[in-house]
């Protein structure tokens, strides 16, 4: 029986080993270090997205990949992956790369779609607020909730929402606007408030909703399709306290000039508009949508049906305006906005939903359990030292287990250490409430941290991405030392390289010339005569001719080849050292060229071509470095070409 069991176990082991070998197909081995087909194929396709895959292309990329691996291995051999700077940089990248893996992706997608759906509709809402601090004690929170419920019941019993808002809302603006918030859409209010508004029917009043400001009830006054965005210009005349008719009379005068086509809208804005920031731009304003301007201005602007239409004068709290529509765009399709909305969702308070959902999934996956008895004892042991970073627990509570995550125990001592390393916090809540909140935050964070540590094992794509970043940082640092910075700092080596490759850096035939571009043949003749006489320095001739303040002649000088200055192709200039006697027609003007000095072809000085020589020297250093690395690994680089060529 034992033999049979042993035989079955051996067969299972061999079968599992065969499966693993089949899964881990090695396409490259360098001194025992293996690269799987999956890893190579992922890198190849990422860097050759639009290329046709052929055996030749795979072979060529493999050589580049080997060079890459040799450099990275050299960096590891030098211990560059153990340096603190490297570790910190990689940790920073890892934090960014891990974020998409530490959310409930399906819920995130749902929130993105929900947000876009809400953006297609605008809500006209009013609210009543009873303030309540986010960290308020339970009794204070209850009192705020009871008060807002009393106000809601009062309104449902027949009281005017507007009057109750004026008398009882703790939003200071309610005294003036009766709680009216105007129209708004997604991302313009706190998410919980937004949800209450969108989930309430027109004319109804929501149940109390909690935000960071306190408790609200929301009355929905209207719903309408999204207006989109408009680009407009305006002319504004501000009201004057001592002359109530001034702004109206002035805007009507401007409107009359506009309708009579006396001047353009832009000209009138520049002359009359008292909005200094837009007047100098013809009255133009940035793009805006709902809830970005005062209601009267928005309504007047969006009422214009066509580009270049303008309104009759209208009044806002700022004064009197005329608005002109410049352009309009409706809400963009979802595909165009998805990325932008995702970014907003991840920064918005609605992201808490994905965090909570994700936490619940992780807790189930990791068999998470809490010891409520221990947690309650730790909360009871809280005192004011929790705010001073000097809190201590009794020995028994230190050893006690708060929670277990996949068998990993979290103790009271670890939580106390966490509290004592937080920045001192001044809060209205009691030490017990503070510790109760913090212990929930701490245990949740530990669950996410546990998941974070598993990412490389759970997600091959994440593991490969981290490897790319790690290798990329190492490659950059070592290449900088071996090639880039070395080429700049090694002046002796750069000079030797230049001298050994002089024929690679040659000037063509060139000439130092003076070019006079003349208004007509008369001035061209005058220039030639002044040059021939020798009575005038070359650089003063244009000044003499242009003494009347008019530009009859333009002068410039420099050293050029025919490629640099095609005008030289119009006459024989090499070696003559003489003035060109023939006028050259340039777009109806006449050019006179004086060849001051002919410079035959020859090598460039290092100072004249340092940039390109340094670049070539860097390439030379890299080639030599790769040759050395390959020589050191001779016979230790094994490519499985048959496997390599299966990539398609």
d(CA 619, CA 490): 14
Determine the topology of domain 506-603 in CATH: Chitinase A; domain 3 (3.10.50)
- Find where tokens 């270049």 sit: 308
Q: How many angstroms separate the CA atoms of 335 and 355, rounded?
A: 25
State residue 536's pLDDT score. Answer: 92
Domain ranges in the chain are 1-77+464-500+605-648, 121-225, 229-329, 366-457, 506-603
pLDDT score at 50: 82
Q: Check: CB of residue 444 under 8 Å from CB of residue 415.
A: no
Tokens at 253, concatenated: 């005068």
Give the model's pLDDT for residue 9. Answer: 33
- End-to-end, the C-alpha distance of the chain in Å comes to 49
Fold assignment, 229-329: Chitinase A; domain 3 (3.10.50)
Read off the pLDDT of residues 105-114 as tens digits, 9 standing for 90 and up: 889 999 999 9
Residue 205, strand partner residues: 219
C-alpha 363/C-alpha 444 separation (Å) is 9
Report yes or no: 186 and 118 within 8 Å, Cβ to Cβ: yes
- Beta-strand ranges (E) seen in 214-343 are 214-225, 229-238, 314-316, 319-329
Q: What pLDDT score does 429 carry?
A: 79
**Model confidence pLDDT, tens digit, residues 354-379:** 888 999 999 999 999 999 999 999 99
Spatial neighbors of 2 by CB under 8 A, at least 6 apart, are: none
DSSP three-state, residue 180: strand
For position 451, what pLDDT does the model report? 96
Q: 434 φ, ψ to 5°?
A: -60, -50
Same fold, 121-225 and 229-329: yes
Q: Which of 372, 347, 463 is nearest to 97 (CA)?
A: 463
Residues in the chain, pLDDT under 50: 1-22, 581
Given this structure, which CATH class describes domain 121-225? alpha beta
**pLDDT recorded at residue 426:** 58
What is the bridge-based pairing of β-strands 553-560 and 121-131?
Answer: unpaired
Length of the chain counted residue by residue: 648
pLDDT of res. 349: 87
> Would you state the pLDDT for residue 134?
87
Measure the CA–CA gap between 307 and 297, rounded to whole angstroms. 17
Q: What is the structure's pLDDT at 582?
A: 60
Own/partner contacts of 437-441, CB < 8 Å, gap of 24 or more, are: 437/135, 438/386, 439/375, 439/378, 439/379, 439/402, 439/415
What would the 3-class secondary structure string for 403-433 be? EEECCEEEEHHHHHHHHHCCCCCCCCCCHHH
This prediction's pTM? 0.64
């Amino acid at each position: 029986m034992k033999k049979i069991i042993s035989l079955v176990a051996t067969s299972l082991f061999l079968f599992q080993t065969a499966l693993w070998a089949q899964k881990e197909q090695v396409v490259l081995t360098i001194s025992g270090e293996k690269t799987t087909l999956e890893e190579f194929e992922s890198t190849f396709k990422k860097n050759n997205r639009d290329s046709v895959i052929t055996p030749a292309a795979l072979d060529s990329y493999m050589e580049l990949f080997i060079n890459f691996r040799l450099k990275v291995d050299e960096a590891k051999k030098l211990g560059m992956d153990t340096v603190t700077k490297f570790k910190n940089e990689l940790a920073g990248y890892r934090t960014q790369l891990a974020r998409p893996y530490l959310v409930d992706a399906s819920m995130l997608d749902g929130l993105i779609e929900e947000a876009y759906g809400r953006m297609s509709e605008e809500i006209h809402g009013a609210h009543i607020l009873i303030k309540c601090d986010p960290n308020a004690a339970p009794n204070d929170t209850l009192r705020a909730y009871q008060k807002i419920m009393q106000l809601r019941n009062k309104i449902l019993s027949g009281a005017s929402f507007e009057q109750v808002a004026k008398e009882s809302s703790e939003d200071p603006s309610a005294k003036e606007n009766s709680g009216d918030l105007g129209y708004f859409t997604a991302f313009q209010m706190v998410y919980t408030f937004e949800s209450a508004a969108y989930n309430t029917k027109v004319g109804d009043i929501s149940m109390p909703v909690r935000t960071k400001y306190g408790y609200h009830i929301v009355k929905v006054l209207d719903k309408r399709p999204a207006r989109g965005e408009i680009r407009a210009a305006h002319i504004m005349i501000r009201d004057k306290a001592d002359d109530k008719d001034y702004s109206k009379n002035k805007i009507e005068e401007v409107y009359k000039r506009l309708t009579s086509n006396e001047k353009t809208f832009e000209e009138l804005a520049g002359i009359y508009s008292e909005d200094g920031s837009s007047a100098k731009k013809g009255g133009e304003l940035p793009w805006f949508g709902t809830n970005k301007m005062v209601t009267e201005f928005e309504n007047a602007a969006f009422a214009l049906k066509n580009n270049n239409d303008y309104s009759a004068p209208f009044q806002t709290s700022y004064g009197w305006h005329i608005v002109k529509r410049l352009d309009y765009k409706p809400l963009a399709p979802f595909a165009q906005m998805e990325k932008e909305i995702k970014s907003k969702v991840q920064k918005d308070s609605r992201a808490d939903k994905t965090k909570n959902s994700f936490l619940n999934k992780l807790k189930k996956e990791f068999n998470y359990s809490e010891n409520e008895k221990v947690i309650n004892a730790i909360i009871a042991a809280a005192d004011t030292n929790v705010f001073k970073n000097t809190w201590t627990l009794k020995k028994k509570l230190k050893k006690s287990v708060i929670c277990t995550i996949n068998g990993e125990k979290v103790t009271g001592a670890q939580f106390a250490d966490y509290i004592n390393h937080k920045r001192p916090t001044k809060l209205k809540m009691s030490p017990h409430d503070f510790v109760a909140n913090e212990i929930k935050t701490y245990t949740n964070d530990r669950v996410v941290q546990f998941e974070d540590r598993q990412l490389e094992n759970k997600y091959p794509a994440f593991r490969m991405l981290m490897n790319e970043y790690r290798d990329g940082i190492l490659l950059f640092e070592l290449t900088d030392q071996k090639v880039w910075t070395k080429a700049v700092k090694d002046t002796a080596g750069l000079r030797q390289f230049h001298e050994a490759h002089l024929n690679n850096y040659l000037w063509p035939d060139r000439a130092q010339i003076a070019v006079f571009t003349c208004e007509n043949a008369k001035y061209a003749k005058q220039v030639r005569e002044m040059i021939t006489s020798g009575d005038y320095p070359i650089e003063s001739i244009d000044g003499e001719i242009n003494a009347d303040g008019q530009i009859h002649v333009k002068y410039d000088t420099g050293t050029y080849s025919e490629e640099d200055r095609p005008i030289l192709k119009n006459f024989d200039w090499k070696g003559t050292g003489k003035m060109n006697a023939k006028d050259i027609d340039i777009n109806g003007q006449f050019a006179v060229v004086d060849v001051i000095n002919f410079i035959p072809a020859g090598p460039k000085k290092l100072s004249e071509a340092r940039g390109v020589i340094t670049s070539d020297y860097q390439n030379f250093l890299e080639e030599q470095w790769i040759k050395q690395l390959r020589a050191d690994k001779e016979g230790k680089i094994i490519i499985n070409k048959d496997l390599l060529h299966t990539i398609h």
